Structure 1
Amino acid sequence: MLENIDLFSFLPKDSLAQLEIFCQERFLNTGEVLFSKGEDSTGMYIVKTGKLEVYDENKIYGYINPGDFVGEMALFSLDKKRTASVKAVEQTSIIVLLDFAIKELGQKHPEILLQIQDIIQKRETINKY
């Protein structure tokens, strides 16, 4: 399930297998909201098929396509609140990765947390403009 996701591509097969135990697949209908700005974070999401839109009141920040992930920013913020809303713009299949599984993975493979934090910094820079 995760072996084709760039973020996890360097992980050994046994680590991927352990992580996949905590993953769930979820399906979203067109227009269905995955989460809303201000909600508490419970994990991050990887798009398997379909497309998600990241938005806030009157602004669209971008789109999340297959292989990309969303929801990571709240996991690493102090208040653990969602910073934007996300909805499906077409039928979408996502992989749900709960926060405790990400933290456990980060203890075994700290380099993955560095990659996620690097992506967060890039997204925060883009979101300022």
Structure 2
Amino acid sequence: MRAASRAATRSSDERVWPCRLPRTRGRGRFCSHCAASRPSRVGRLAVRWVQGFVSVCEECGLVAHEDFLSRVPIFANCTPDEIAAVSGVAQDSAFAPGQIIVTQGTPGQAFYLILSGRVEILRDGTSLGAFGPGDFFGEMSLLDSAPRSATIRAIEPTQCLMLSSWDFKALLEKHPSIAVKLLEVLSRRLRVADERIGR
């Protein structure tokens, strides 16, 4: 009777497992071939959960970027769809204290919006002030590659949203209206700056 029971158990094992399991003492039996060929359902669910979590985090990041961009004066006239398009090509950039972000005299290649931290503005080695969260610099580089008028150096750990001039120009091919709105805002800013200088 016992022999028949053991035989039935063995035949049952052979039906469930495609390869023969070695007998081991301790917590049970292990077959690396079976483990590799039969990924656990829990493992697959875990992978899907992580992928979903990453997707949600990325979406939250994009929403936060759109919120920041919508408050920047040069994008003030843009529609939500246009803001979303700009946010889609912008990149996060981190800078350590003392790190140079842009150098005076070099061609402008990107626009920066400060998300956190502080930066110092230097012209010919003289400090002109500092920028903090919500401030931005390099906006003219979105239109041309004129030399930078000042050096920008991180004072503390700083996180910026960066929009390169080439990504922005590629974006304008799909959303040309952004360029018109940007020019309108920049022209007003330049006019105000000229009036202040003339006083």
Bigger Rg, structure 1 or 2 = 2
CA contact (8 A) 1:74 1:83 kept: no
Normalised TM-score (structure 1): 0.79
Once the two structures are overlaid, the 10-residue window that deviates more, 65-74 or 26-35, is 65-74
CA contact (8 A) 2:94 2:159 kept: yes
| Alpha-carbon distance in structure 2 between the residues aligned to 1:10 and 1:80 | 25
Structure 2 residue corresponding to 1:96, chosen from 162, 165, 168: 162
Counterpart of 1:3 in structure 2 is 67
2:184 matched to 1:114?
A: yes
Counterpart of 1:83 in structure 2 is 149
> Measured at CA, do residues 117 and 99 of structure 1 come closer, stay the same or move farther in structure 2, by a change above 3 Å?
farther
> Measured at CA, do residues 75 and 101 of structure 1 come closer, stay the same or move farther in structure 2, by a change above 3 Å?
same
CA contact (8 A) 1:48 1:94 kept: yes
Structure 2 residue corresponding to 1:28, chosen from 67, 88, 95: 95
Normalised TM-score (structure 2): 0.54
Once the two structures are overlaid, the 10-residue window that deviates more, 64-73 or 7-16, is 7-16
For the residue of structure 1 that corresponds to 2:67, the secondary structure is coil
Moved over 4 A (4+): 74-77, 120-128
| Alpha-carbon distance in structure 2 between the residues aligned to 1:89 and 1:13 | 33
| Alpha-carbon distance in structure 2 between the residues aligned to 1:51 and 1:124 | 27
Higher helix share: 2
> Measured at CA, do residues 120 and 93 of structure 1 come closer, stay the same or move farther in structure 2, by a change above 3 Å?
farther
Higher relative contact order (CA 8 A, sep 6+): 1
Question: Cα RMSD over matched residues?
Answer: 2.7
Counterpart of 2:107 in structure 1 is 40
Higher strand share: 1
| Alpha-carbon distance in structure 2 between the residues aligned to 1:125 and 1:76 | 22
Q: Percent identity?
A: 20
Aligned length: 127
The one-letter code matched in structure 1 to 2:188 is D
Structure 2 residue corresponding to 1:72, chosen from 129, 139, 156: 139
The Cα of 1:56 is off from its aligned counterpart by 1.7
The one-letter code matched in structure 2 to 1:107 is P
Instruction: Specify every segment of 5 or more residues in structure 1 that has no aligned partner in the other structure, as ranges.
Output: none
Per-residue CA distance 1:12-67 (angstroms, 9 max, x = gap): 22111111121000001111100111111111100011111110233222212111
